[in-house]
A and B are shown apart, each in its own frame.
Chain A
Amino acid sequence: GAVVSQHPSRVICKSGTSVKIECRSLDFQATTMFWYRQFPKKSLMLMATSNEGSKATYEQGVEKDKFLINHASLTLSTLTVTSAHPEDSSFYICSAREPYSDEQFFGPGTRLTVL
């Protein structure tokens, strides 16, 4: 099946710094990628939908100036958490959808810890 990677898998940063997370589709071109946030023992919360070459569509309540999403190519989307605070600590998961398919392929996740 299709493979999606994320980098880094784990990051620890100081409060006030910015962190960039990469999501790559390794063997297919993903016109659409999704970013999720997962709190401990909770389900996934969709943060935004990222379309290649256009601005991301954010879910209600998600600050677009804090969570910057860039989908510069058909195989790469990045999520930048700006001026991170401890409450931003979470597990961030991306997924990618193949064109003409309703199936999403998920990355392994990035655990962000903000001290």
Chain B
Amino acid sequence: GNSVTQMEGPVTLSEEAFLTINCTYTATGYPSLFWYVQYPGEGLQLLLKATKADDKGSNKGFEATYRKETTSFHLEKGSVQVSDSAVYFCALPRGNAGNMLTFGGGTRLMVKP
């Protein structure tokens, strides 16, 4: 089945720093790709998604581009805030049915003022 690997954290940054969280995937075909965010003590929220190659998903200043050449979907933000401190998960459908998701291990981001 499909799988995803993301960089281990924690990632510690100062406010207004540039953020990159790497995510690479292995998949059959071109499934949708997702980034979810989990704030402390909460469930997951969809942050952004891309449904086909070369698509760029964006939300709240975060961006990720679906790159089939490098099988990557790296998450970026130009200027992080303290409120961005959370755990970020890269995900994609487990198989072609698109029913179940498989998640990366999660990357904890800590932003210091």
Q: List A residues at the B interface (Cβ < 8 Å).
A: 1, 4, 6, 32, 34, 41-44, 46, 49, 93, 95, 97, 102-109, 111
Contact = CB atoms under 8 A, between A and B. Distances in A.
Interface residues of B, number: 23
Q: Is the interface of A mostly helix, strand, loop or mixed?
A: strand
Q: Which of A44, A46, A111 has the most CB of B within 10 A?
A: A44
A98 B36 CA distance: 17
A105 B47 CA distance: 11
B36 A49 contact: no
A3 B31 CA distance: 24
Q: Which of B43, B49, B102, B106 has the most CB of A within 10 A?
A: B43
Given A44-B103, A102-B98, A104-B101, 8 more contacts: A34-B100, A34-B101, A43-B105, A103-B32, A103-B34, A104-B46, A105-B46, A106-B46
A106 B100 contact: no
A102 B100 contact: no
Contact of B89 (A32, A43, A46, A103): A43
A109 B89 contact: no
Given A49-B99, A102-B93, A106-B36, A42 B106 contact: yes
Contact of A97 (B99, B103, B106): B99
B42 A109 contact: yes
Contact of A93 (B43, B100, B104, B108): B43
